[in-house]
Structure 1
Amino acid sequence: MGQLIKLQDYASRYEQNIFHYPSRFVTLKKQQWEKLRYNWENPEAAPVLIQKDDSKIEVKPHLLNKIKTLFSRNNDSETLSTDESMLQTGEPAEFDQFTAMVHYAETVDDLKLQFLNQLFDFQLKWATSTLTEKSIMNKRFFFDEHLRYFLQRFPDTYLVLYRPIFLLKKASIEVESILISPTDVWCITFLEDHDLSVFVGSNQKFWDVRTKNKEKRIVNPLLSANRTEKIVKKLFQLYEIELPIHKVILSRNGFIDYPLPPYDVTLIDKRNYEEWFTSLRRLRSPLKSTQLKGAKALLDYCQTTSIRRQEWEVDEGNEK
């Protein structure tokens, strides 16, 4: 499951410590999957939510863990509570909250899908909040198929910046999605319409899109792809990061007709998509130092828009 380290301009805890959270996430994910599977295989040992039909739900709540309050400071203490410290260092308390209940699943594959969906929601929390700050996320991201594709189809060692907004020379610049593997960086521009659409490429400002019943024009996707690649290259040069950068135009369900494309762009369409995708998924390299340094270089120049958590505003007000 790819790790969402930046979502547009939202506050991300990966920005606080990119060298800690990726490996922590991998460890916690493994622990929680083992716990979830054990609960599923041993329903008598944990609460299980079973939906038998549309009107009847049977719940076994005898071992349901109590949800602890994250912000539970004593009146006579200024130190962080246990749960707050856990939130800073890895958020096991948050993981426990969504694995306390095992929903009914017929097979292990059903359980895996259930777990991936839970992790997807959890990752959005990590990508939109920190211990003290939070961002107001557009709810459309819960249903964003491209975002779900990155987070549910790639290995844990892939770091994802999804349509990040960079702040360069006081200007906000939104770019395409960036996928950082242990060995490469992929700047990916999606090019998708109806199934079997044909995208006719050129070096002009517009491309033609041909479907079964009609034809239309779209802005040349290379314009945004070039902008994304240029920013990544500049920041890597600034931080002396040496990772290959690939610029990709991706059409999973259509065809790209561009006889003489620029030499520095990779065109992936329905004809070669499976080969390309499989090659990325087969990468078994662990997280690498250069990869994390590259991620930090990009995060350092990402814009963040957030507000102070109300709990902290109240606490600080009481201390004055």
Structure 2
Amino acid sequence: MAQLIKLQDFISRYEMNVYRYPSQYIRLKKQHWRKLKTLWEEGLLTTPEPRPEQDSVQEKKSFFNRLKKKKVEEEEFNFEEAKPMQHSEDFTEDSGFSFDYQFGDQPLDEDELKKKFLDQLLEIQIRWASSTIREKSYVNREFYQDQLLKYFLQRFPDNYLVLYQPVLLIQKAPVELDVIMISPIETWCITLVEGKEDCVMLGSKDRFWIEKHTNEEKKVLNPLIRLNRMEKIVQGIFQLNELELPIRKVALNRTGYIDYPYGPADTMFIDKRNYEEWFAALRRLSSPIKHDQLKAAKCLLQYCQTTYVKRPEWED
């Protein structure tokens, strides 16, 4: 399961120490999976006691609320060296990685057990990407049901680091990007180009593309505008920090087709025809997390906008 190192402008513990948390995450994940599997094999998974409805409501209320997103439309960027953020680092080994070994319905087989495990892990990932021991950000509950976020985290292995809709401060202006995935050998800038099932996206250099589905047509904003801007920002940050990690650009349509015969050569157009091959190649990458990968993550995180509050127990 890939690691969520930044979610929009929420505070992330990876910002505190990006060299520590990736390996800690992998270790804790393996530890909890072994324990869960052992309990399941021995028939020791227990069904939780019913909780008062009021407690459940309070839990949901206390967890989520959200500050509004900001966007800018700029094509030229000047990069200044970013200063590391100063926050308090967590002190305990497994802080924020609490795992629930109680299920309402007992998993029937190992595949179902893995699914329940990954769904809990998704919640832990979002918790790690929105809080530290002293600070927290208010997360909209929608992210817990975000199928695209779930896809990028649950379908890729642990050695991928994901920034999902990160908000970067460029020339003191917030710029929201799409999806950045940092692998041990390269960085992927990904923009989704999806519409209805089996639709055809007709690409061009114009400001708008055409989405065709049966007899329907509609205009959609050219996704390469966002994709090129994202790549330009990432490239500028890497150059400033003398990083040579390759950057790949992907326009992704998993459920339909992209028709752009003379599209730019530096962009990969991934649709239903070549998706499985591309996806399998990324999943096969078994290289461990590397230093340049962590350095790339650190450089990007230093430019990210972060909105948070201190936890009440840590306020003076």
Query: TM-score, normalising length from structure 2?
Result: 0.85
Q: Percent identity?
A: 52
| TM-aligned CA deviation for residue 13 of structure 1 | 0.2
Partner of 2:247: 245
Residue of structure 2 in register with 1:179 after alignment: 181
Paired with 1:253 and 1:195, the residues of 2 have a C-alpha distance of 5
User: Match for residue 257 of structure 2?
Assistant: 255
Which of residues 291, 296, 299 is equivalent to 2:298?
A: 296
Deviation at 1:99, TM superposition (A): 3.2
Residue 2 of structure 1 contacts residue 156 of structure 1 at CA under 8 Å; is this kept in 2? yes
1:93-117 residue CA offsets vs partner (Å, 9 max, x unmatched): x43x423325510000000000000
How far 1:86 sits from its partner (Å)?
A: 11
Q: C-alpha offsets along residues 257-289 of structure 1, whole Å, 9 cap, x if unaligned?
A: 001001111100000000000000000000000
Amino acid at match of 2:102: M
Alignment-mate amino acid for residue 20 of structure 1? R
- Once residues 202 and 91 of structure 2 are traced to their aligned partners in structure 1, the CA distance between those partners, rounded to angstroms, is 49
Counterpart of 2:167, as a letter, is: I
Distance 1:86 1:244 in 2: 31
| Cα contact 2:89–2:132 (8 A) shared by 1 | no
Aligned pairs (5 A) from 1:198-237 = 198-237=200-239
Q: Is the 8 A contact 1:21 1:90 kept in 2?
A: no
Q: Distance in 1 between matches of 2:9 and 2:291?
A: 25
Question: Partners of 1:127 and 1:267 in 2: how far apart?
Answer: 30
Q: 1:143 maps to which residue?
A: 145
Quote the Cα distance in structure 1 between the aligned partners of 2:133 and 2:312. Answer: 11
TM-score, with structure 1 as normaliser: 0.84
Q: What residue in structure 2 maps to residue 32 of structure 1?
A: 32
Partners of 1:213 and 1:116 lie apart in 2 by 40
Cα deviation for residue 120 of structure 1 reads: 0.2
| 1:50-108 residue CA offsets vs partner (Å, 9 max, x unmatched) | 8xxxxxx89xxxxxxxxxxxxxxxxxxxxxxxxxx99534325x43x423325510000
Amino acid at match of 2:47: L
Tell me the distance in 1 between the aligned counterparts of 2:176 and 2:190: 13
Pair member with larger Rg: 1
> Quick one: distance in 2 between partners of 1:169 and 1:267?
30
Cα separation, 1, equivalents of 2:109 and 2:215: 42
| Match of residue 42 from structure 2 | 42
Secondary structure, aligned partner of 2:47: strand
State the alpha-carbon separation in 2 of the partners of residues 49 and 232 from structure 1: 47
User: Is 1:106 equivalent to 2:116 in the alignment?
Assistant: no
**In 2, Cα distance between equivalents of 1:89 and 1:257:** 51
Q: Could you say which residue in structure 1 is the equivalent of 2:267?
A: 265
For 1:91, the aligned partner's letter is D
Distance in structure 2 (CA, Å) of the matches to 1:140 and 1:86: 27
The answer to whether the 8 A contact 1:36-1:102 is kept is: no
* Contact 1:36 1:99 (8 Å CA) reproduced: no
| Alpha-carbon contact 2:200-2:212 (below 8 Å) kept | yes
User: 1:23 matched to which residue of 2?
Assistant: 23
Q: Is the 8 A contact 2:16 2:89 kept in 1?
A: no
Match of residue 118 from structure 1: 120
The partner residue of 2:93 within 87, 90, 94 is 90
Identify unmatched segments of 5+ residues in structure 1.
51-56, 59-84
Higher RCO (C-alpha 8 Å, min separation 6): 2
Gaps of 5+ in 2: 51-87
Corresponding residue for 2:74? Answer: none
What is the RMSD computed on CA atoms of the aligned residues? 1.8
Partner-residue secondary structure (3-state), 1:259: coil
Following TM superposition, by how much is the alpha carbon of 1:43 offset from its aligned partner in structure 2, in angstroms? 2.5
The 1:87–1:301 alpha-carbon spacing in structure 2 relative to 1, beyond 3 Å, is: closer
